[in-house]
Structure 1
Amino acid sequence: MNRTRLVLTGLAVAAAIAVSGCDPQPGSEGTASSPSPAASSAAPTSTAASTAASTAASDAATVKACADIKKDIKDNATKIAKAEKIGPPAGHFAVSAQWAAGSVAILAHSMSANEAVTAASEKIQNEMMSLSDAYNKSADAKPSKKALEAAIKELDTACSAA
């Protein structure tokens, strides 16, 4: 069981790394990473201006992370539903693997977010891994998703504050 989980988790990590390399980075936007010529000439030594610019970039990264994480959660739910249709005994491995892959995607997109969003997304990731473990242990598993739902609500709260 542990070897299967290790292999499936490894595949999920590899897939997440490959997919995250395809995501356009904020550097292509230009305005988020470099100040405009007017802003740089108006206050080249102002720490308040640079703090405001870094806060704005941080907030933009958090907003993007929230959108990406929410999309990951929705996509994962769709993929879980497909995997559950396979049915036991083989289907529980597919469901377990999808929970693991979903948790890695959440983790990958939370790296640029603020502390509150990162903490909430880590809770979601942990709950997804718990569900993966439950499905990996039993072909007939029907674990509760209440803790995951609570973690998602916490993420929604953290994202609305960003």
Structure 2
Amino acid sequence: MLHYLRGDGIMRHCFYSFHYEADNWRAAKIRSIGAIHGAREAYDNGWEAVKNGSEQAIKNWIAAEMNGCSCAIVLIGSQTAGRKWINYEIEQAWNKGMGLVGVYIHGITDRINQTSRVGSNPFNGFDVNNVPLSNIVRTYDPAGYDSATRYANISQNLGRWVEEAIAIRNRY
């Protein structure tokens, strides 16, 4: 889930949160954006190695992956919201003072060239001082008429969205 992303000339270490089984193909496309812009390519996230481990092993892995990150990018697919480990990652990112941003990826094709239906906002159900986290964290549904144009929209804007998420988090 770790990836270096160029944001306004600054290298940012970001954590990617996504539903692995349903969206790993789409997520791999998004995670490769930094490589396209000359940053270090995203490596396999290692989830396969820990997903069947103990809860503590998974928590330790998430903590290690988040270490040194300034922002968590939640890639929102049709089944992302409400998942145990996605919720845990959102909570941990917020508690660590990381920026949080959501990007809808239902319009990005998977390995069999299919898109999916839009998912619910995964930040619903979290509160910060009686304010819904979904009112604080911004989510983006990339514009475009097909997967390629949506990918281009994400590629052009992800750095700005990350910087914005970090600035928003710094206000809370």
Pick the TM interval, shorter chain.
0.3 to 0.5
TM-score (norm 2): 0.32
Structure showing greater Rg: 1
TM-score (norm 1): 0.33
Structure having the higher strand fraction is 2
